[in-house]
């Protein structure tokens, strides 16, 4: 799979992909590709990129943050790779715990963002409800009482 197809599938430009490579977020820079030749990507590379982009979009992380997280993800993947060979349950427990810590960190970031959005949404909904009430009073609007109520600035 070449860069054009990857770019189209994940919805970014080729420049972005090359830039992420420059910054060490994606492979194909370090892993011995001869300069000038076409970059080649696997399905796993696409998944990885998509994960990075989601983190970037939803959590507004800098590329430096992303690089850190990506490193942790990679460590986790490496641990998962060792799963089959790990002999003791104690060893496997360590693998599980490391993965858990990483996921919990991400979940924390996601939750705190979501809470802010919730608060914002609530505020907007309250304002809308107030306007809706005004609207009802105005369009019902023949009784003097309703008319008088409507004289207040919302």
Q: Does 2 bind DNA (CB under 7 A)?
A: yes
Q: Does 14 bind DNA (CB under 7 A)?
A: yes
Q: Which residues bind a second copy (CB under 8 A)?
A: 54, 57-58, 60, 80, 83-84, 89, 92-93, 96-97, 99-100, 103-104, 106-107, 110-111, 113-114, 116-118, 120-121, 124-125, 127-128, 131-132, 134-135, 138-139, 141, 147, 150, 153-154
- Comparing CB distances to DNA, the nearer of 41 and 137 is 41
- Comparing CB distances to a second copy, the nearer of 23 and 130 is 130
Q: What is the DSSP string of the chain?
A: -BHHHHHHHHT--HHHHHHHHHTTSSSSSSS-PPTTSPPB--HHHHHHHHHHHHHHHHH---HHHHHHHHHHHHHHHHHHHHTTT--SHHHHHHHHHHHHHHHHHHHHHHHHHHHHHHHHHHHHHHHHHHHHHHHHHHHH--SHHHHHHTTS--
């Amino acid at each position: 799979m070449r860069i054009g197809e990857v770019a189209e599938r994940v919805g970014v430009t080729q420049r972005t992909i090359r830039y992420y490579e420059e910054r060490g977020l994606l492979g194909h820079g370090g892993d011995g590709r001869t300069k000038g030749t076409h970059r080649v990507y696997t399905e796993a590379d696409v998944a990885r990129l998509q994960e990075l982009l989601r983190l970037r979009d939803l959590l507004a992380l800098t590329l430096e943050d992303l690089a850190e997280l990506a490193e942790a993800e990679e460590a986790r993947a490496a641990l998962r790779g060792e799963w089959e060979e790990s002999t003791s349950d104690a060893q496997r427990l360590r693998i599980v715990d490391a993965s858990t810590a990483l996921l919990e960190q991400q979940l924390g970031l996601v939750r705190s963002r979501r809470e802010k959005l919730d608060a914002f949404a609530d505020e907007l909904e309250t304002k809308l409800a107030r306007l809706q009430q005004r609207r009802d009073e105005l369009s019902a609007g023949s009784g003097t009482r309703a008319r008088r109520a409507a004289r207040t600035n919302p």
